[in-house]
Amino acid sequence: MKKEKFRVSSVFIYIVLIFWSLTTIYPIIWVIQNSFKAKDKILANSFSLPLGDLFTTANYRKAFNNLNILSAYKNSLFISSIVAIVVVVLAGMASFALVRYTFKLKGALLSLVMAGMMFPVFATVIPVYSMEVKWGIASTNNWGLTMLSVILPQVAGNLSFAIVVLTGFIKGLPVELEEAAFMEGCNAYQIFYKVVMPLTKPSFATVAIFSFLWSYNDLFTQMFYLRTPKMFGITVLLNRLTSQEGTNYGLMAAAVTLVVVPVVIVYIFLQKYIIKGMTAGAIKG
């Protein structure tokens, strides 16, 4: 009896889930299929498969011929990985303090964090750029400095979001575990490092994914800081292919495909941290 009911509701669940997954998978297929079409064919035939006359590899040939894609991938992965790591560490520390400690300025700091999330990039990028030029970081021909010049503002830009999300997660942690650790003689740093961090590993992984993603896709900042071909990230590089004579949709679809692949890989890789069971019984509700 119980088993029977279970199955009916499961069927319903799967119908809902599969329906939604169709809406999310189709766009990827659509992008990939159009990356094999010439740009003028897309407006009229975007929903048909690239077969026969429609099929062309011209977009990929163009992307690979003209551009140094590998170096761009390397730059992008470098920038975004560092941004993700730094953001997670700094935001984790700040969130922990903001959740667990009570102090006078707490309310004000939380408002500042919220405000920081709202600042539009186009309002801050120019003062930041001139500041970095003054410091001698931005606008140099040095690879390391250039990478640094774009990593720093991106870290700052992602911190607010990371703090907002991580405070939400850390609030949900049972404080008893920390008390137990305290009893055993851990100080606050050890509690953070040995109790909070491992317990919220899935949350840190999630925040890392989004920081990575936004840093990776942040075209506006990257266009401003990364200027010579050897510095380009993949998004900047592929954006240079967009045309003046109307948008080259086929090439754009190929570019999107090339941009998306690493992010999906990073996501699948980090996903193992958000999967139940991997955190091995550390969490007691």
Site for other proteins in 165-194 (CB under 8 A): 165, 167-169, 171-173, 175, 178-179, 182, 187-189, 191-192
Element (H, E) at 199: helix 197-199
Q: Which residue in the set 11, 70, 119, 269 belongs to the binding site for other proteins (CB under 8 A)?
A: 119
DSSP state of 52: G
127 binding other proteins? (CB under 8 A): yes
Minimum CB separation of residue 78 from other proteins in Å reads: 19
CA 219 to the chain's CA centroid:
13
Q: Which is nearer to other proteins, 78 or 260 (CB)?
A: 260
Residue located via tokens 């948008």: 247
Stretch of residues binding other proteins (CB under 8 A), selected from 76-84, 142-150, 259-267: 259-267
Q: Which residue in the set 122, 142, 184, 269 belongs to the binding site for other proteins (CB under 8 A)?
A: 122
User: What totals of helices (H) and strands (E) does the chain contain, helices first?
Assistant: 14, 0
For the chain, what's the residue count?
A: 285
211 binding other proteins? (CB under 8 A): no
Q: Which residue in the set 80, 149, 157, 208 belongs to the binding site for other proteins (CB under 8 A)?
A: 157
Site for other proteins in 46-75 (CB under 8 A): 46-47, 53, 56, 58, 61-62
Phi, psi of 176 (to 5 degrees): -60, -40
142 binding other proteins? (CB under 8 A): no
Rounded to whole angstroms, what are the CA distances from 206 to 136, 146, 215? 34, 27, 14
101 binding other proteins? (CB under 8 A): yes
For residues 269 and 112, the answer to whether their CB atoms sit within 8 Å is no
Q: Which two tokens stand for residue 135?
A: 């410091």
Number of residues engaging other proteins in binding (CB under 8 A): 141
218 binding other proteins? (CB under 8 A): no
- Spatial neighbors of 208 by CB under 8 A, at least 6 apart, are 84, 85, 87, 88, 270
Site for other proteins in 225-244 (CB under 8 A): 227-229, 235, 239-244
285 binding other proteins? (CB under 8 A): yes
256 binding other proteins? (CB under 8 A): yes
Name beta bridge partners: 55. 37
